[in-house]
């Protein structure tokens, strides 16, 4: 695709972005309900049934494993499609458009990780969870933002979506390089060969989706067996699906697949993941446990690290003249959105499962930290945005 074509935001891509914002907002509300339901069930007489159901083995993997490695591969496929579309024909197609969310995302990953490391320094068992508070849950954050209605300009919602997409890309890189172990070279080579087939299909102009999804399923199996986390196969498949030229957008395989996946990811995949992973029994947790290194590091990383890192680096980009405040917004509103980015639910829980695989106690502590940090960030962000915003009246 030419440079000129890459910078054209097609009407269909813009329409998909609009639907993305609305569906992710609604999906975020559904996710909140799923997380709340999981907490209630995990602390009710049904708790044993809930945890036993997650451990049921089917086709060699537990239900929880199928959710985290299977269903979430579809989520990561969606993430990959969004990243590719935004970079080629959307809100991240020029360096100017990438500057503000890019700087914000960088700060929002580095500072929370540093806070977690500072709190867990000297404890090798828990230090590996440094990336847990580095992630933002776009569905949850947009869902909370939607509660403010027209008080928040669309430009801020687009900024939040772009930042979270870059944040997701960072999370994919972190998972690939830091949460991969026990590599199987034969399966890794098989994965590479399958990926080369997908790339060749793209280069040869194959535009039907079925071959990509079929070969992608094979790639997922090989990656699952290789020691690299299987969800990364979803991103690899997405990057190989052809976008097409702007004038061909009506027949774009990428836009078609993204459009079809939106509903299922927002209202099925992510809520199921939330229900399967947010359940934590609070019976053995006391107030003293809340200041243990893991929950404290995760909660403060999300609540303090996100707002400090995102706001300071976004402000730096603006002061250096590399970016501008989102249209129609104020500095206080930008700060409010930075607070909302402390909602790290889905991706933080996902990384927590990878960081502490095999340690149910530490995973429960991660869940507590994520829930506390995310809830406090959501409440703080809403309060700041309500105070700083007035309803936007359409003319």
For each of the domains in the chain, give its residue range(s) and CATH number, in order of start: 49-180+229-387 (1.20.1530.10)
Q: What's residue 6's pLDDT?
A: 41
Kindly list the distances between the CA atom of residue 344 and the CA atoms of 21, 37, 87, 366, 374, in Å, as whole numbers in the listed order.
18, 18, 23, 11, 6
Q: Tell me the average pLDDT across 191-210.
A: 94
pLDDT score of 165: 80
Question: Measured between alpha carbons, how far is 223 from 193 in angstroms, rounded to an integer?
Answer: 11
Mean pLDDT score across all residues of the chain: 85
Query: Is residue 51 scored above 70 in pLDDT?
Result: yes
Parallel, antiparallel or unpaired: strands 61-62 and 57-58: antiparallel
Segment among 171-175, 192-196, 283-287, 377-381 with least mean pLDDT: 283-287
- Distance between CA atoms of residues 280 and 365, nearest Å: 9
For residue 3, pLDDT beyond 80:
no
* pTM score above 0.85: no
CB atoms within 10 A of CB 134: 28
Tell me the average pLDDT across 309-329: 91
Q: Whole-angstrom Cα distance, residue 103 to residue 122?
A: 30
Q: What is the dihedral of CA 228, 230, 235, 240, to 10 degrees?
A: 90
**pLDDT value of residue 24:** 62
- Per-residue pLDDT, 319: 92
Inter-residue contact 156 to 143 (CB < 8 Å): no
Averaged over 99-114, what is the pLDDT? 94
Helix (H) / strand (E) element for 61: namely strand 61-62
Between CA 68 and CA 110, with CA 28 as vertex, the angle to 5 degrees is 70
Percent of the chain with pLDDT over 90: 41
* pLDDT score of 88: 83
For 142: left if phi > 0, alpha if psi spans -120 to 50, otherwise beta; the answer is: alpha
The pLDDT of 120-137, averaged and rounded, is 91
CA distance 348 to 334: 23
Q: What angle do CA 76, 8, 172 make, to 5 degrees?
A: 20
Cα distance between residue 91 and residue 17, in whole Å: 9
Distance CA 274, CA 143 (A): 14
Helix (H) / strand (E) containing 191: helix 185-203
pLDDT at 394: 43
pLDDT band for 4, please (50, 70, 90 cuts).
Answer: very low
Residue-level pLDDT at 240: 94
Using the 8-state DSSP alphabet, how is residue 393 labeled?
P
Question: Above 80 in pLDDT, residue 291?
Answer: yes
- Residues 189-208 have a mean pLDDT of 94
**Cα atoms found within 13 Å of the Cα of residue 229, Cβ hemisphere only:** 26
User: pLDDT per residue over 337-393, tens digit each?
Assistant: 999 999 888 888 889 988 998 888 898 899 899 989 999 999 999 999 888 865 544
Report the pLDDT averaged over residues 86-111. Answer: 85
Give the whole-angstrom CA distance, residue 253 versus residue 83. Answer: 15
- Is residue 12 over pLDDT 80? no
Q: Choose among 128, 127, 152: nearest CA to 141.
A: 152
Residue 395 pLDDT > 60: no
Q: Report residue 58: phi and psi, to 5°.
A: -140, 125
Asked if residue 112 has pLDDT above 50, the reply is yes
Closest CA to 355 of 280, 281, 297: 297
Across 9-22, average pLDDT:
61
Structure confidence at residue 48 (pLDDT):
92
Token pair of 384, please? Answer: 């700041």
Residue 271 near residue 34, CB atoms below 8 Å: yes
How sure is the predictor about 130, in pLDDT bands with cuts at 50, 70 and 90? very high
Range among 25-39, 54-68, 247-261 with highest mean pLDDT value: 54-68
Q: Please, which pLDDT band fits residue 147 given cuts at 50, 70 and 90?
A: confident
């Amino acid at each position: 695709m030419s440079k000129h074509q890459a910078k054209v935001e097609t009407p269909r891509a813009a329409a998909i972005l609009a639907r993305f914002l609305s569906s992710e907002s609604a999906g975020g509300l559904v996710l909140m309900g799923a997380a709340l339901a999981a907490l209630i069930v995990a602390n009710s007489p049904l708790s044993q049934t809930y945890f036993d159901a997650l451990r049921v083995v089917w086709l060699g993997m537990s239900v929880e494993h199928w959710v985290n490695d299977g269903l979430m591969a579809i989520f990561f496929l969606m993430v990959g499609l969004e990243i590719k579309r935004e970079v080629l024909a959307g809100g991240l197609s020029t360096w100017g458009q990438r500057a503000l969310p890019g700087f914000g995302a960088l700060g929002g990953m580095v500072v929370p990780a540093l806070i977690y490391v500072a709190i867990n320094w000297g404890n090798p068992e828990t230090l590996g969870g440094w990336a847990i508070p580095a992630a933002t849950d776009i569905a949850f954050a947009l869902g909370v933002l939607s509660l403010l209605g027209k008080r928040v300009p669309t430009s801020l919602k687009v900024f939040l979506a772009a930042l979270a997409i870059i944040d997701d890309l960072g999370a994919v890189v972190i998972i690939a390089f830091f949460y991969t172990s026990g590599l199987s070279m034969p399966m890794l080579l098989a994965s590479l060969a399958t990926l080369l087939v997908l790339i060749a299909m793209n280069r040869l102009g194959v535009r039907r989706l079925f071959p990509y999804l079929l070969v992608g399923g094979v790639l997922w199996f090989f990656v699952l067996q290789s020691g690299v986390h299987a969800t990364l196969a979803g991103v690899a498949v997405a990057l190989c699906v052809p976008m097409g030229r702007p004038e061909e957008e009506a027949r774009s395989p990428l836009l078609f697949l993204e459009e079809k996946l939106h509903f299922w990811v927002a209202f099925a995949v992510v809520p199921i993941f939330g229900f399967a992973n947010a359940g934590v029994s609070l019976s053995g947790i006391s107030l003293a446990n809340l200041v243990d290194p893991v929950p404290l590091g995760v909660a403060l990383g999300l609540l303090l690290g996100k707002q400090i890192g995102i706001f300071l680096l976004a402000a730096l980009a603006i002061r250096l003249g590399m970016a501008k405040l989102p249209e129609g917004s104020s500095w206080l509103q930008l700060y409010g959105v930075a607070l909302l980015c402390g909602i790290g639910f889905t991706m933080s829980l996902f990384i927590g499962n990878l960081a502490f695989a095999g340690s149910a106690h530490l995973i429960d502590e991660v869940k507590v930290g994520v829930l506390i940090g995310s809830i406090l960030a959501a409440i703080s962000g809403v309060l700041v945005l309500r105070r700083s915003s007035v309803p936007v009246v359409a003319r």
